[in-house]
Amino acid sequence: MAGKGDKPAKADKSAAVAKSGKGRKKETGLGLTNTKDGNFGEWYSEVVTNGEMIEYYEISGCYILRPWTMAIWEIMQNFFDPEIKKMNIKTCYFPLFVSNNVLQKEKDHIEGFAPEVAWVTRSGDSDLEVPIAIRPTSETVMYPYFSKWIRGHRDLPLRLNQWCNVVRWEFSNPTPFIRSREFLWQEGHTAFATKEEADTEVLEILELYRRLYEEYLAVPVVKGRKSELEKFAGGLYTTSVEAFIPNTGRGVQGATSHCLGQNFAKMFEINFEDEKGEKAMVWQNSWAYSTRTIGVMVMVHGDDKGLVLPPKVAAVQVIVVHVPYKDADVKEIINACSATVKTLCDAGIRAEADLRENYSPGWKYSHWEMKGVPLRIEIGPKDLANNQARAVRRDNGAKVDIPMADLVDSVKGMLDTIQQNMFDVAKEKRDACIQVTKTWDEFIEALGQKKLILAPWCDEEEVEKEVKAKTKGETGAAKTLCSPLEQPELPEGTLCFASGKPAKKWTYWGRSY
Ligand code: 87F
C-alpha cells in the first residue's frame, strides 16, 4: 500500500472506471476497479473513498472523516462512554500542546518515539521563543496535575478519560484509519492506591474493548498480553485485543490497556499519604482505542461490492428503494416507502428511503451496497398489491419477501441475524488461518502461507529479536502479537519453536500492521 497517503481524491466516483474481462477499462457510474483478493491495498483505498467514509486530503497521512465514518465513531462512543462512567471514570479535557520541558521529563521512553513528535515553531512571521509539541499521547500533559491533585488516600482512585485527537508524524506507509498522522481516540488515565485495583481495571477495560470489536464491529479478537519487547516501554505490562486480516495475513493491534506500575509516579512524583499516614506512590493505568477500530472493521468485512457494515454500527441500517414500473402508480409506491421508513424509525430502526427519481433502482442498489447498508427493502407494484416488501441482505445477498404486517419484527430479526452472521463468518475465516506450529520449519512455512501462528515460546526477549531478524523481508518481520489470556494446555516438556528451550506459554505470532 505504498504511498497511499499521497493520493488526493484518488477515486472519483463519478468517473469510476471498471475493468472488463479483457482487462480493458470501461466507464461505469459505480463499482470498484480492484478486488479484495486481487490488490488488497488498492481495494481498501477504493472502498473507504467510494463508500464515502474517507476523503483523501492534501497533507499525506491525514484524512477527512466523513459523516458515514463519524456516525460509526459516535455509536461506538455511545456504547463505551456510559460503560466507563458506570466504573466512575470521569470525562476531562487537557490541552493539545505540550511544552518541551514536560515532554522531556519522561526522556527514557520518549526517546524511541521522538521522531514522531510534531512541533509548532512559529506564529505568523516570528519564531516562538520555545517550540511547543503537539500531543502524541497525554501522559506528560496530565501527570504533573495528577501529582498536584493527589495528596491523600481520599483523593484516590483518580480516574479520568478524554476524547480527543493526537498527532504522530509517522513515516511508514499511511493507511486510512489504520495508520494516520492525526487520529481520534479516547485515552483513559487512572491512579490507584493499590496494584490490585489497577490490575482489575486493566482487565475490565480490555473486556470493554473485546465487546466493542465483537459485539459492535462483529470482528473476532484475542485478548492477550504483550511480550516485553512489544509492550509500552514506559509501563509495567501491556494487554491488548488483537485482530487478524486474513487477506494480508497480518495481525493488527485493536486497542491497548496498560498497567503502568509506578514508573510514571516516580517520574512525576505522584505520591499520597496512605491510611497509616505514610507516604506512598500511586499505581497507574492508561488505555486507548482509536479510529483504527473502523479500519479493522472495513478490512475484515468489506467485499468486492464495497463496504459491509454491521447493523449495530451502521448509520443507516435499512435503505428503502422504490421500484417504479411503467404503468404503475408511482405516487402510491413512494407513499408506501415513506410509510415503511416511518414505521421502522418509530420502532427504533435507523431507516431511510432513497426516492431520487434521477437514478435507476439498479444504480441505487449498487450505491447502497457500496456504502455497506446491511438491509435493502425494495417496494414495487407487485409488492404493493401483495402487501409485502422484498428484503435483500448485504452480507450474503439473500432475498426474502416479508409481509408488511410483521415488518418491524422481521426487520429486527434480520438485522440481528446479519450482525451474528457477520461475526460468525469473520470468526470462521480467522480461525481457518490459525496454525499451531511447534518447530521452526513449520513456523516459516505457516508464515509464508499468511497464517496467524500459535506457537509454544520460551518468552525470552533475545529469542523474539532473533525471530524478527531472521524473518525480516520485504513484507516486514514476524513478531509476537500477544500471549492469549486464555492459554491452551501446555504439556510438560513442550519446547519453544524457536530456541528449543522449555516453552513457558502459547503465543500468537505473525506480521502485523
Ligand atoms: C509517539 C510519540 C511520542 C506511542 C508515541 O497506548 C510518544 C508516544 O508514548 C507514546 N506513540 N506512545 C505510547 C502510548 C502509550 C499509551 N498512552 C495512553 C497508550 C494508551 C493511551
Confidence of residue 407 (pLDDT cuts 50, 70, 90): very high
Could you tell me the pTM of the whole model?
0.94
| Residue of 196, 206, 188 lying closest to 261 (CA atoms) | 196
Q: What is the pLDDT of residue 326?
A: 80
DSSP state of 302: -
Q: Residue range 218-247: average pLDDT?
A: 97
Tens digit of each residue's pLDDT (9 = 90 or more) over 13-57? 333 334 434 433 444 457 999 999 999 999 999 999 999 999 999
Ligand 1 pocket member 337 (CB < 6 A)? no
Which of 107, 232, 236 is the best mutation target for the ligand 1 pocket, counting ligand atoms within 8 Å of the beta carbon and taking the most?
Answer: 232
Q: What is the pLDDT of residue 475?
A: 84
Q: Residue range 439-463: average pLDDT?
A: 98
Tens digit of each residue's pLDDT (9 = 90 or more) over 363-385? 999 999 999 999 999 999 999 99
In the numeric block, which cell numbers belong to residue 236? 509495567
User: 182 near 5, Cβ under 8 Å?
Assistant: no
Ligand 1 pocket member 168 (CB < 6 A)? yes
**Dist. CA 162–CA 317, nearest whole Å:** 29
Please identify which residue in the block is written with the cell numbers 483504527: 292
* Mean pLDDT, rounded, of the chain: 93
Q: Residue range 444-457: average pLDDT?
A: 97
Tens digit of each residue's pLDDT (9 = 90 or more) over 168-217? 999 989 999 999 999 999 999 999 999 999 999 999 999 999 999 999 99
Q: What is the pLDDT of residue 30?
A: 76
Q: What is the pLDDT of residue 29?
A: 55
Residue with the larger pLDDT of the pair 245 and 20 = 245
**Dist. CA 403–CA 399, nearest whole Å:** 13
Ligand 1 pocket member 187 (CB < 6 A)? yes
- Ligand 1 center–CA 482 separation, angstroms: 18
**Dist. CA 184–CA 81, nearest whole Å:** 14
Q: What is the pLDDT of residue 17?
A: 39
